[in-house]
Structure 1
Amino acid sequence: MLLMAVDGGKTKTSCMMFDEQGRILAFSASGPTGLLLPLETIKYNLWIALESCISAASVHFEDIVLIVFGLSDLDTMKDRVIAESLINSLPLPPSVKVLVEHDMITAYYAVTHGEPGETRKGVNEK
C-alpha cells in the first residue's frame, strides 16, 4: 500500500510517497500551485510533482492507494470546487482515492501527528 502527500503552495509544490509503515520512499518538487495562478499552470505543476515522485520511486500510479493534497488558498467553497475540479481532471487511475484539504489542516496534522494540538507543556497529560 503506497500513499502520496502533496503540499501545494504559492512558491513551490512538494510531493512525498510513503509506505504503510510511514517510510518515505520518494520526494519531488515543482513550481507553485496557489489558486491565484492560471489553472493550466497549477495543473501542470501538480502533475510534474506527482509524476516525478512516481518516477523516483520506480512504481506506477496504479500502486497508489491514496493521494492527499494540502493546498494553499482553499479559503472559500468556490476555491475548493475549483481545486477539486482541477485535481479530478488529472489523469489518475480511478482506483486512487483523492483527499483535498487546506494546507493549514495538513500542516496541523503533520506537526501533531493527529494528537491534540495543545502547546502548553504538561496539559495533554492531565
Structure 2
Amino acid sequence: MNRLRELRKSKGLTIEELSKELKSRGVNVSSSAIQKYEQNKRNPKIETLERLADYFRVSVDYLRGIDPYKVYVYYSSYGNRTFLVIAKSKKQANKILSNELRFDPYYKLSDFEFTTYPVDEAMIEEL
C-alpha cells in the first residue's frame, strides 16, 4: 500500500491527520492501522479500501498498486446515444449513467456494453 503513503503525502497530511480526516467522514481507521497499511504489515478490509479510494478519488486497484491508472473512461453505446463516462469503477459509471437515464424508460443499463480505457492524469486534464 505504498500508494496510500504517496497519496497521503501528496495532500500534505500526516498519518494522524489522515486518520482524523477519515473519522470526520465516518471511516473509523486509526493512525496505527494506516501506518500498518503503508508498511504492508496489514491489509485493510474492502470497505476501508473503498472509502480510502473515494477519499483520494482513485480506483481501489490503483490504491492497491495493481493498476497504474487512477481512473477509467467507460464508453457505452445504446440505440442512437453514446456515453463517455469518467469513473473510478464500473459501479460508479453505472450510477452516473443511471442518473442520466432515469427519466428515459427506453434505455436499460443491462443493455449497455462497457469498454474500459485506462487513462492517466494528463489525459484527464485534456478531457
Does the pair score TM above 0.5? no
| Structure in which a larger fraction of residues adopt helix | 2
**TM-score normalised by the shorter chain: which range applies?**
under 0.3
- TM-score, normalization: structure 1? 0.25
- TM-score, normalization: structure 2? 0.25
Of structures 1 and 2, the one with the larger relative CO (CA 8 A, separation 6+) is 1
